[in-house]
Structure 1
Amino acid sequence: MTKYKKGQINIVLQEKRQDQKMPEPVPQKPNHRIFARIDSRFSSFVGLDELKMMAKQIYATMIVNKKREEIGLKSSGQVLHMMFKGNPGTGKTTVARELAKLLHEMELLSKGHFIEAERADLVGEYIGQTAQKTRALIQKAIGGILFIDEAYSLGRGGEKDFGKEAIDTLVKHMEDHQNDFVLILAGYPDEMDNFLELNPGLHSRFPFILEFPDYNLDQLMDIARRKFAKLEYELSKEAEWRLRSEIEKERMCRNFANGRYIRNIVEKTIRSHAMRLLTRELYSAKDLIEIKEMDLDFE
């Protein structure tokens, strides 16, 4: 595209309007309701400020591209393939599912459906089967998001493993269907870094690489409170102190499951709470709402 000096762009646009009889643009009040929807959609997630900003930038770029096209300027297409790097329980799958809905609302995806896959869904047992399975899965995902967790497993078998064939097929179709298809690869941070080295063209095809860090103690407690509150339960002060103490100890363990650990604790505790009420026949409003220290189940 021709580069113009400062001050020349207005002259060029005026000439375009005269040649093409283009109407002068009418100033419009910015409509940022989608920004509020982005904040609302991800309000239940702890952290993820980078994700919210990314979603807003994607929307802003789409709007500006449309405005540029209206006055005859070139628009820069958006490639939305992403990579999520984080340990288990940091929200990667849940965020990807919400992104599918959000991109559909933005009219960047025609269907907005979400397909979750793993190595077995792409890799076949004999020559030719892997490419066929991978292509079929991509076709099924057109219009939505294809989410592949533990994507690094595709490259663990070495040069002769069919996982490499799946990677090559994905790379080709990422380019062919980039206008109505989003591929999200996810997995542990170190393993995903190694995975990017398997194919020379892999890294450049993921313009969005998001880190999902482990939650700190306060964030994990916030997640627990939100989960209980959503189900209309409240923690007693003693229960909250005990829960905080147990989470702090568990965080030190290897392979801590972050939000997944909290979800399991909440579900087991609610069952324990129900058993206590049933055996003692306690059914007052306070009894039905309050989680006591004895209800917490860490087994």
Structure 2
Amino acid sequence: MSGRSVPSRQINIVLRGPEPPAAPLAEAEIQPAAKRTPSEGPLSDIFKELEQMIGLDNVKELVHEIYALLQISRFRADAGLVHNSHVYHMIFKGSPGTGKTTVARLMGRMFHAMGVLSKGHFIEVERADLVGEYIGHTALKTRELMKKAMGGILFIDEAYSLARGGDKDFGKEAIDCLVKGMEDKKNEFILILAGYPDEMEQFLATNPGLPSRFPIQVDFEDYSIDQLIQITEHMAKEREYVLLPSAVSKLKQHLAEEKAASWRSFSNARYVRNVLEKSMRHQAVRLLSQYTSAPSKQELMAIRPEDLKLK
């Protein structure tokens, strides 16, 4: 055995303090991100239609919120977390022609695509469809319509008309029947009541139980002049017509006068649609009188100021 010594190994021990506690989840920094929407399938088509609609920013925000809630509810279910169902009965408040019916139809399709509604069909009714002629008839008619709406949307326009007849009117019976049905079948169909803002507020005040049963209330603002021009040009493009700049100027001036004179009854997009279709008829008469043979493609498409025969 040799007399060589074996060198000792030096072991360095580093003492560390306890790991700092992780930041609470609620305090974690969240980076802002763009809104996520479906990239394909029926939902993608629905969101494309929504984004193409002029204005309606608060409505678009609501649809995004509902979509996000439903999507996260799916993730919560997959993670074994509580995922309670929500009530989606709604009040739409706004003037005629502001997109209430169009949005209601779109929501029916979205809820169907997300699995909330089994069918997603759309049933539009008014007072005459609900109110009967004798005691008991109204409840029968109302229950029948709710039955038809199961799995879809029941849309009642000018819903405040149900409360106009007073306590002895059969409209009150329809309201009571709707209140019971929307509570008993709250997850089987969605009820949307629509009408003018002031009248809808008065209507909700007629029954203490009504406001709490409609957790979603949406205001549909009147369109501005510029938005109405955009809507008109979009409608014309769909029909393969073009409003010449001079026609646009004439229409813009007319809309400003019309809105100022009849703001209470102005029908927004419905009004400009009627104006456009009337101008198409006038254009057809003008072209037939000007040309003995087929006009050019450009002339067939052009809406001129003289075609806008306004009041």
Structure 1 residues 31 and 215, CA gap change in structure 2 (3 angstroms): closer
Match in the other structure for 1:47: 55
1:286 aligns with 2:298: yes
Whether contact under 8 Å (2:56, 2:221) holds in the other structure is: no
Structure 1 residues 110 and 286, CA gap change in structure 2 (3 angstroms): same
1:296 aligns with 2:296: no
SS of the residue 1:42 aligns to: helix
Q: Deviations over 1:257-284 (max 9, x none)?
A: 1111101001100111111111222510
Whether contact under 8 Å (2:46, 2:106) holds in the other structure is: no
Q: Distance in 2 between matches of 1:68 and 1:105?
A: 19
Match in the other structure for 1:249: 257
Counterparts of residues 97-176 of structure 1 (less than 5 Å):
97-176=105-184
SS of the residue 2:80 aligns to: coil
Match in the other structure for 1:66: 74
Structure 1 residues 295 and 199, CA gap change in structure 2 (3 angstroms): same
Q: Distance in 2 between matches of 1:69 and 1:123?
A: 42
Structure 1 residues 287 and 189, CA gap change in structure 2 (3 angstroms): same
Give the TM-score taking structure 2 as reference length: 0.83
Gaps of 5+ in 1: 1-5, 10-29
Give 1 or 2 for the bigger CA radius of gyration: 2
Q: Deviations over 1:57-97 (max 9, x none)?
A: 21221222222223332212111111110111111112212
The CA RMSD measured in Å over matched residues stands at: 2.0
Superposed displacement of residue 36, structure 1:
4.9
Match in the other structure for 1:200: 208
1:33 aligns with 2:39: yes
Match in the other structure for 1:24: none
What one-letter code is carried by the residue in structure 2 that aligns with 1:120?
A: A
Q: Distance in 2 between matches of 1:297 and 1:145?
A: 39
Q: Distance in 1 between matches of 2:205 and 2:196?
A: 15
Whether contact under 8 Å (1:38, 1:52) holds in the other structure is: no
Partner of residue 95 from structure 2, selected from 83, 87, 90: 87
Q: Distance in 2 between matches of 1:248 and 1:235?
A: 18
Q: Distance in 2 between matches of 1:7 and 1:222?
A: 48
Q: Distance in 1 between matches of 2:53 and 2:156?
A: 21
Superposed displacement of residue 8, structure 1:
10
Superposed displacement of residue 210, structure 1:
0.6
1:263 aligns with 2:269: no
Match in the other structure for 1:20: none
Structure 1 residues 31 and 292, CA gap change in structure 2 (3 angstroms): closer
Gaps of 5+ in 2: 1-22, 27-35
Q: Distance in 1 between matches of 2:146 and 2:257?
A: 43
Give the TM-score taking structure 1 as reference length: 0.86
Superposed displacement of residue 220, structure 1:
0.9
- How many residue pairs are counted as aligned between the two chains? 274
Moved more, 187-196 or 33-42: 33-42
Q: Deviations over 1:147-168 (max 9, x none)?
A: 1000000001111111111111
Moved more, 36-45 or 138-147: 36-45
Superposed displacement of residue 45, structure 1:
1.8
Whether contact under 8 Å (1:134, 1:170) holds in the other structure is: yes
Identity over the aligned pairs, expressed in percent? 51
SS of the residue 1:138 aligns to: helix
SS of the residue 1:199 aligns to: coil
Q: Distance in 1 between matches of 2:245 and 2:75?
A: 55
